[in-house]
Amino acid sequence: MLSSNIKGVSNGFPLKIEVEKVVEKQVEINHDFLRNIFQKIDWKAFFDASKVMGFAELPEQAPEPSVLESDLDFLRKFHHALLELHLEEGALVCPETGRKFPVNKGIPNMLLHEDEV
Amino acid sequence: MSSRPELQAPPEIFYDDTEARKYTSSSRIAAIQTELSERALELLALPDDGVPRLLLDIGCGSGLSGETITESGHQWIGLDISHSMLNVALENEVEGDLLLGDMGQGLALRPGVIDGAISISAVQWLCNADKSSHEPRLRLKAFFGSLYRCLARGARAVLQVYPENLAQRELILSYAMRSGFAGGVVVDYPHSTKKRKEYLVLTCGPPSLSTAVPSGKVEDGESCSEDESSEDEENQMICISDRHRPRKKQKINKKGKGREWVLRKKQQMRKKGNVVPPDTKYTARKRKARF
């Protein structure tokens, strides 16, 4: 699951994504969940993230919430970008400090060093 | 509890490859974890409208508790400090998102995105200082502070903990309260030493009617809830001092202890959560001489 777009460090959001490898996994679509999560997403960060991951079919401006009720095609795209694209190998980069959090096997390593706490 | 894992090594070292595999392949641990996480989800009291929520599993380990969340139809993000445990979780192909992180450094999540958090047997690790830079109080503060921020308003967090002693429990609770959480401790099977389980039930936001602490489970169905402050602490203090008081010698008359004594003992064992045969007319009856 691509959750990197809804994650930030206290001193900087959004994290930039450096892609080395992206995998796609089939996930069953669930409209209720998508509607629930939609309000919480920072659309610009999400749009940028999905573009970096190689999926550019989303609209640049955040659509109206009403679209979620009617437009099944948009829901499918949103679902694909949110849940089916996985960053397998790469890194998340803090926009403020440039600190890199490596991503291995789909697990972001968010451990800080002692001097960063 | 003789061998608490917290006292042996820091979590990222204690749960190495072998320990992680052992932990996950043990059916006993899996059963306990499942039971604990089912209870935690129950205490989380998510609205039952069929909408999948985004939950956070703190100290998810190999994803045993996450599987319970998946079964109940929610999405989850799992956080753990042990790389080996997460690797096992990957092998088991858990549904949730995994994240390698230290809860004592704060959770790196955007504010307000999480609909609920559970944590099974993890928070007590925070009370140990494993490195020279670790200060349990600061780590607890960072953890609860960031947890409060990332939860949506009105969301609940249910943390199952094994506090080592009273002071540790007080410490954890006081930091939770300081971060703005409302709630208290729910104790399941309070009379039993083994089955006793403590859950911190915390609600984001100011205390209100909806933040009332649910009651704990007792074997015979009667409920037992305790607030963190009031009478419970006093009761426990009395219990401790009771233990040191010299016991009166128990009088045993020739006839034995009698039916009432047996019934009372059986009631006590039931309260502890043990399996006790039912009371019948045969209970505590004398055997015939020819037996």
pLDDT in tens, A18-29: 666 666 666 667
Fold of A4-108: N-terminal domain of TfIIb (2.20.25)
So what's the ipTM on this one?
0.73
Per-residue model confidence as pLDDT tens digits over B202-253: 887 655 545 456 666 665 444 444 443 333 433 444 444 445 555 555 555 5
| Smallest Cα distance from B168 to chain A, Å | 23
How many Å apart are CA A70 and CA A63, to the nearest integer? Answer: 12
Q: Are residues B283 and B166 in the same domain?
A: no
- Into how many domains does chain B fold? 2
- Give the best-scoring range by mean pLDDT among A21-25, A53-57, B14-18: B14-18
Inter-residue contact B203 to B211 (CB < 8 Å): yes
Give pLDDT tens digits for A58-116: 676 666 666 666 667 777 777 777 777 777 777 777 766 667 777 777 777 777 766 66
Q: Is A107 on the interface with B (CB under 8 A)?
A: yes
The verdict on residue B245 lying in a domain is no
Higher per-residue confidence, B163 vs B235: B163
Q: What SS3 state is found at A26? A: coil
Residue B98 in contact with partner chain A when CB distance is under 8 A: yes
Instruction: Categorize the per-residue pLDDT at B68 as very low, low, confident or very high, splitting at 50, 70 and 90.
Output: confident
Each domain of chain A, given as residue ranges in start order, spans 4-108
CATH number at residue B163: 3.40.50.150
Q: With CA atoms as reference, report the closest residue to B11 among B74, B68, B67, B84.
A: B84
- The answer to whether residues B178 and B283 belong to one domain is no
Q: Please give the average per-residue pLDDT across B163-184, as a whole number.
A: 82
Same domain for B288 and B219, yes or no, is no
Q: When comparing pLDDT for B278 and B22, which is higher?
A: B278
Same domain, B132 and B162: yes
Is omega for the bond preceding A14 within 30 degrees of 0, making it cis?
Answer: yes
- Inside any domain, residue B249: no
Q: How far is B184 from B158, CA to CA, in rounded Å?
A: 10
Q: What percent of chain B has pLDDT over 70?
A: 78
Contact at CB, A10 and B146, closer than 8 angstroms: yes
Tell whether B233 and B263 lie within a shared domain: no
Residue B52 structural domain = 5-239
Residues of chain A found within 8 Å of residue B66, distances taken between Cβ atoms:
none
Average pLDDT over every residue of B77-106: 80
User: Number of residue pairs across A and B with CB atoms under 8 Å?
Assistant: 70
B51 has a chain A CB within 8 A of its CB: yes
Q: What is the 8-class DSSP label of residue A116?
A: G
Strands B151-161 and B75-80: unpaired
Is the same domain home to B227 and B264? no
- Say which DSSP state B48 is in: S
Starting at the edge strand that comes first in sequence, how are the strands of the sheet with B75-80 ordered? B97-100, B75-80, B54-58, B114-120, B151-161, B197-203, B182-188
Answer whether residue B250 is part of any domain.
Answer: no
- Report d(CA B65, CA B188) in Å as an integer: 18
